[in-house]
Amino acid sequence: MDETEVLRGRVILITGASGFTGRHACEYFSELGMQVAAIVRDMDQVAKVDAIQYYSCDLLDQPRISGLINRIAPDYILHLGGKNSVFESWHKPIVYIQSNLMPTLYLLDAMRAKPDCIMLVVGSRVSADLTILDKATHPYGLSKSLQKAVALSWRKLFDQKVILAEPSNLIGPGVSTGFCTLLGRYIVESELGRHPSPFRISSRADRRDFLDVRDAVRAYGYLLVSGSFGEVYPVCSGTERSLEEITDKMLEVADRSVPLIWGDNRSSEGSSPSERATLVESLGWYPKIPLAKSLGDVIEYLRTMEGEIR
């Protein structure tokens, strides 16, 4: 199915529109011919695009969310808003649970008055199985597990049109707290002659699945059109790579050598990536952007932003 024709002219509300994925999503769905309603917390932090309508909203403000749903009357909701730092979640666990759980509930509650609206909740691969009470490994993972639980429960309890996506590590141009952007920023700082201390990496053997954010956003389009309600879709490349491989490729793309310190963390996501990837691929989606281009775009983006790098 060609999702472009199905989505053209329809209204999509995107939360977290000023974030790393949100900015790419706004651009993509606008280019498809959709009417994009972008929800942001702070209008001053957004480089506005004329074709997109922006709305300021704190996602913890339930009356404001309800009012915007009624006003915008979206055909689709892409819920990207929330917090996503594992490190920060250890220091602010309650904030993370509030930020990732309550806005999801508020959106679902507001959608009850719009039974034809389809909502895609973007979760995380690190969410845990809540039937095993001690499965969560950090507060961020717990917050995304709770988000998944309420989304699936609302689907069953209220027969709402809810789909879940669980993306892998997303990379590409833009402001991100992910590994590739952090390493890329370090490389560019080195190019600027700032001679920082060596960059620390958890382990040569640590393996993760990396997917270009622009491919992930395309996958979200396929899910909105063809996804099954109540289903959880892993969105990933299908290939896990070691951090050593990613680091070597990024240094090759940047044509730069930088000092590194390797740790001995042996962890791995280990999630049968080839099997996980097939669920979305069955809808007609597949990754298009090669890893080398993704890494190169990270470097080039950061180079253009060198005046803002601290």
Over residues 6-16, the mean pLDDT reads 96
Least confident stretch, 23-37, 184-198, 264-278, 282-296: 264-278
Q: pLDDT by residue (tens digit) across 12-22? A: 999 999 999 99
Q: What is the pLDDT of residue 308?
A: 54
Average pLDDT, the chain: 91
Burial of 139 (0-12, 13-18, 19+ CB in 10 A): buried
pLDDT single digits (tens) 77-92: 999 999 988 889 999 9
Rounded Cα distance, 144 and 157, in Å: 20
Helix segments in the chain, DSSP class H = 3-7, 20-31, 62-72, 86-91, 93-111, 139-158, 179-191, 213-226, 243-254, 273-281, 291-304
Distances (CA, A) of 274 to 200, 214, 232, 280, 288: 29, 20, 16, 11, 16
- Which one has a higher pLDDT value, 302 or 125? 302
Q: Is the pLDDT of residue 276 over 70?
A: no
Q: What is the pTM of this model?
A: 0.93
Instruction: Compare 69 and 195 and report the one with higher pLDDT.
Output: 69
The domains of the chain, with CATH numbers, are 3-167 (3.40.50.720)
Between 264 and 134, name the one with better pLDDT.
264
Higher model confidence: residue 121 or residue 306?
Answer: 121
151, pLDDT greater than 70: yes
pLDDT of residue 266: 63
Q: Between β-strands 169-171 and 35-40, what pairing exists: parallel, antiparallel or unpaired?
A: unpaired
d(CA 233, CA 48) in angstroms, rounded, equals 31
**For range 249-276, the mean pLDDT:** 77
Residues 53 and 12 sit within 8 Å (Cβ to Cβ): no
**pLDDT at residue 5 in the model:** 82
Looking at residue 20, its pLDDT comes to 95
Cα 115 from chain centre: 26
Residue 127 has pLDDT above 70, yes or no: yes
Q: Which two tokens stand for residue 136?
A: 């969560």
